[in-house]
Amino acid sequence: MTRTIKTVGVCGAAGTMGAGIALVAARAGFRTISYDMKEDALERSAKQSAAFLDKSVERGKLEASKRDAIVGAMSRTTDISALEDCDLVIEAVFEDLATKQKLLDRLDAVCSEDTIFASNTSTLSITEIASGSKVPTRVVGMHFCLPAQLMKLIEMSPGILTSEETFESAWAWTKACSQIPVRTQDKPGFILNALLVPFNNDAIRALEAGVASAADIDKAIKAGLGYKMGPLELIDLIGLDTQVRLCEAFYPITLDPRAATPPLLRRMVAAGLLGRKSGKGFFDYEGNAMYGA
């Protein structure tokens, strides 16, 4: 048996990932409520989402009427109680266990016990996150790929206590959104980050060692392996500070030396070179438009 999902909440919606997830949900016809504590961040996210949709129309990838329907399905709020009628709430907040557990505790007080809570965590244990809820059976891992509005893959991970009904309902929802779900175990990094975090760090270390320029490293990976985006461009997209947090979450669990934070990465973050969102990382950028817009 699966639960009917009509309304979706997205927490941490002002971030790049949260904004993309909200677009995925609204594009599939679901009423979507984006929640964040900062009004200005929500406004910025709204402008980025509108620009992405407008550009999609200009490129002939989206009909104007469909754009209007998507915009009409989306709302934003700084009041967490606005999520009370949601059938599914997806958290995409700061990659910190205590922060995510605290959010679930707050959602417990607002949402029905039938509401499914999904975590977009990329490195943390779903079982540990679920312990922040009084109903851990309703918590499931749902890791979207960045940029969520363009990438189809979702890593679906049940925790030890996740009910089969919760998992099947969340799985059915991803299919309704025309995404591609894969079932993974509740293990560090799931599939993608278990492979990607060390690989991205290798690219940073190659740059630091003077093997080649950032542009040539990315060009070699794209031309030689068929990747659409080079590892350094990808880190710029997700944020160099996010890569640091991934390393700090992943390395203590795995003790894989390749997952340890490269010194160059720490220095760049200390200098405020965070990638696309700061205008400069391994490459230079203008504006802060959503990727693909």
Q: What is the 3-state secondary structure (H, E, C) of 230-273?
A: CHHHHHHHHCHHHHHHHHHHHHHHHCCHHHCCCHHHHHHHHCCC
Q: Which stretches in the chain have pLDDT values below 70?
A: 14-15, 287-293
Amino acid at 68: D
Domain residue limits, the chain? 7-183, 193-278
Q: Which residues are catalytic?
A: 122, 143, 155, 193
**CATH number corresponding to 7-183:** 3.40.50.720
Ramachandran quadrant class, 266 (left: phi over 0; alpha: psi -120 to 50; beta: rest): alpha
What is the predicted pLDDT for the residue at 146? Answer: 82
What are the E-state strand segments in 22-166?
31-35, 74-77, 88-91, 116-119, 139-144, 153-158
Residues in CB range of 83: below 8 A, 6 or more apart: 9, 11, 33, 35, 89, 107, 110, 111
- Predicted pLDDT at 14: 67
Q: Where are the beta strands (DSSP E) in the chain?
A: 7-11, 31-35, 74-77, 88-91, 116-119, 139-144, 153-158, 180-183
- Cα separation of 218 and 194, whole Å? 20
Sheet with strand 88-91: strands edge to edge: 74-77, 31-35, 7-11, 88-91, 116-119, 139-144, 153-158, 180-183
Phi, psi of 223 (to 5 degrees): -75, -35
In whole angstroms, give the CA distance from residue 170 to residue 147: 20
The pLDDT score that the predictor gives to residue 280 is 94
| Pairing label, strands 153-158, 139-144 | antiparallel
Residue 264 tokens, joined: 């160059």
Distance CA 110, CA 167 (A): 21
Per the CATH hierarchy, to which homologous superfamily does domain 193-278 belong? N-(1-d-carboxylethyl)-l-norvaline Dehydrogenase; domain 2 (1.10.1040.10)
Condensed to tens digits (0 to 9), the pLDDT of residues 129-150 reads 999 999 999 999 999 998 899 9
User: What do you get for the CA distance between the two ends of the chain, in Å?
Assistant: 38
CA distances from 79 to 7, 65, 164 (A): 16, 30, 31
Identity at 117, one-letter amino acid code: F
Q: Residue 289 has what pLDDT?
A: 59
In this prediction, residue 41 carries a pLDDT of 85
